[in-house]
């Protein structure tokens, strides 16, 4: 294994320059990892490595994720450094201009290159690991070697000559609805680095199964963050610079009896416009997580009914924001061709759905925890070392966002291993 001297090298992607680090660097996205989970785990004493990292001057702040606060748009923003308007993925699911509805899991949805694909093309080895296979092809776009925990038993990593991921990790991959699927993703990243590295830039995206099911401080959450912390220690011991963020937060969205607190938008508007149609951009293959109920929806209505529909929706308790589609594209930096006629967000404790009939009442999750709105937009942004004063001065006044995590980590660290871009 030889390490090439990359001092002073830069890679430009989507209009931003990133310094090529002289040591391995990883960003870990904790799916649904609201700051409250980290705080509770730190308070419970189950994250000693994170505690020591913070005591040593690591940077920890809170920043914004992309709206709607869903998995795919945010993972794409984190790996491209740009908003959905530029990378092209405004949700997990969307209605396209031809009226068809589809999952946004295909690389054809992407309009921007990832930082990883640019590094890979420049000869700096990268790897993307995702717990959820739905993200794998998006992350692989542009030639990034990519694997998932979910399908680790049947995927190969040809770029690094690895035929069996599970043999490399040394144990079978857990089911995607197993709390350990995320820890397994972290283990894959480190195992590949050790076997075929050194890797320059690694991305690990976890799954929010635990966060959808248990609140901060619960037994399952403690186990999850403890397992996370053990792996964080492994990455730090291996010499990695580590960035940690989340794609969105997570809140309880149910009544005291456990039944979901839902506003059925098609039912609210049916008498005004029988043609009303609602598209739920949280929709993905993992319905056990959320039953397709989140705090953001697109409403499609007959053109001359739009103003009245917006007025009526604004009156519904639990709905917090109502925008025209193009207005929402400006507000949330979304691709203009993939927004609905009306954008609706709901409050901390409420989700929006289609109709009572559409959502199978028997199959609705009990004790629903979900995301998608403003109240899940704030996420932690953590970098394993102090940021350089010169870098901080340059970005002063810029809001902290999860999409800047690679900028912070590659351009912002002080010390001889990292040379800031023009700073």
User: Which positions touch Zn ion (CB under 5 A)?
Assistant: 31, 71, 208, 247
**Residue 281 C-beta: closest distance to Zn ion, Å:** 12
Between CA 296 and CA 68 the distance in angstroms is 6
What are the CA-CA distances from residue 154 to residues 26, 58, 148, 157, 166 (Å)? 24, 38, 10, 10, 9
**Residue 227 C-beta: closest distance to Zn ion, Å:** 18
Residue 208 or 273 having the CB closest to Zn ion: 208
Kindly state the helix (H) or strand (E) to which residue 296 belongs, with its residue range: strand 296-300
Region of residue 401 (phi > 0: left; psi between -120 and 50: alpha; otherwise: beta): beta
- Report residue 311 as tokens: 């007025």
Which residue's CB atom is positioned nearest to Zn ion? 71
**Residue 89 C-beta: closest distance to Zn ion, Å:** 13
**Residue 71 C-beta: closest distance to Zn ion, Å:** 3
Residue 180 or 247 having the CB closest to Zn ion: 247
Residue 6 or 345 having the CB closest to Zn ion: 345
Place of tokens 């103003």: 307
- DSSP letters spanning 166-181: HHHHTSPPPPTTSTTH
Which among 106, 112, 101 is positioned nearest to 298, based on CA atoms? 101
**Residue 170 C-beta: closest distance to Zn ion, Å:** 28
Between CA 67 and CA 310 the distance in angstroms is 19
**Residue 247 C-beta: closest distance to Zn ion, Å:** 4
CB 181, CB 209: distance < 8 Å: yes
Region of residue 221 (phi > 0: left; psi between -120 and 50: alpha; otherwise: beta): alpha
**Residue 57 C-beta: closest distance to Zn ion, Å:** 29
Residue 203 or 240 having the CB closest to Zn ion: 203
DSSP label at 283?
-
Which among 78, 2, 1, 3 is positioned nearest to 33, based on CA atoms? 78
Residue 16 or 71 having the CB closest to Zn ion: 71
Residue 187 or 208 having the CB closest to Zn ion: 208
Residue 206 or 387 having the CB closest to Zn ion: 206
Residue 204 or 387 having the CB closest to Zn ion: 204
CB 111, CB 88: distance < 8 Å: yes
Kindly state the helix (H) or strand (E) to which residue 248 belongs, with its residue range: none
**Residue 134 C-beta: closest distance to Zn ion, Å:** 10
């Amino acid at each position: 294994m030889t390490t090439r001297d990359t001092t002073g090298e830069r890679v430009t992607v989507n209009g931003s320059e990133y310094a090529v680090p002289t040591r391995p660097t990883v960003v870990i996205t904790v799916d649904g990892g609201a700051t409250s989970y980290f705080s509770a785990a730190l308070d419970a004493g189950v994250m000693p490595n994170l505690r020591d990292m913070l005591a040593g001057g690591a940077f920890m702040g809170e920043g914004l994720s992309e709206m709607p606060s869903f998995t795919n748009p945010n993972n794409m923003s984190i790996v491209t450094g740009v908003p959905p308007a530029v990378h092209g993925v405004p949700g997990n699911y969307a209605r396209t201009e031809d009226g068809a509805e589809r999952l946004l899991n295909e690389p054809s949805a992407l309009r921007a290159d990832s930082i990883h694909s640019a590094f890979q093309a420049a000869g700096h080895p990268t790897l993307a690991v995702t717990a959820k296979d739905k993200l794998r092809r998006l992350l692989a776009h542009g030639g990034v070697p990519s694997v998932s925990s979910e399908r680790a038993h049947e995927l190969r990593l040809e770029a690094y000559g690895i035929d069996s991921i599970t043999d490399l990790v040394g144990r079978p991959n857990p089911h995607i609805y197993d709390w350990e699927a995320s820890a397994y993703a972290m283990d894959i990243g480190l195992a590949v680095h050790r076997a075929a590295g050194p890797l320059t830039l690694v991305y690990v995206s976890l799954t929010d199964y635990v966060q959808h099911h248990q609140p901060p401080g619960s037994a399952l959450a403690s186990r999850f963050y403890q397992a996370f912390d053990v792996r964080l220690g492994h990455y730090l011991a291996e010499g990695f610079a580590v960035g940690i963020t989340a794609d969105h937060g997570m809140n309880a969205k149910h009544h005291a009896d456990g039944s979901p607190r839902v506003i059925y938008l098609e039912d609210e508007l049916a008498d005004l416009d029988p043609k009303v149609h609602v598209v739920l951009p949280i929709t993905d293959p993992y319905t056990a997580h959320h039953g397709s109920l989140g705090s953001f929806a697109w409403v499609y209505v007959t053109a001359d009914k739009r103003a009245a529909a917006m007025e009526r929706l604004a009156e519904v308790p639990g709905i917090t924001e109502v925008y025209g589609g193009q207005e929402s594209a400006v507000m949330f930096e979304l691709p203009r061709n993939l927004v609905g006629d009306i954008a609706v967000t709901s409050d901390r404790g409420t989700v929006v759905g289609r109709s009572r009939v559409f959502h199978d009442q028997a199959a609705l999750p009990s004790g629903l925890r979900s995301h998608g709105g403003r109240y899940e937009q704030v996420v932690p942004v953590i970098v394993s070392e102090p940021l350089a004063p010169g870098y901080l001065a340059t970005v002063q006044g810029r809001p902290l966002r999860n999409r800047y995590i690679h900028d912070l980590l590659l351009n912002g660290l002080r010390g001889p291993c990292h040379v800031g871009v023009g700073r």
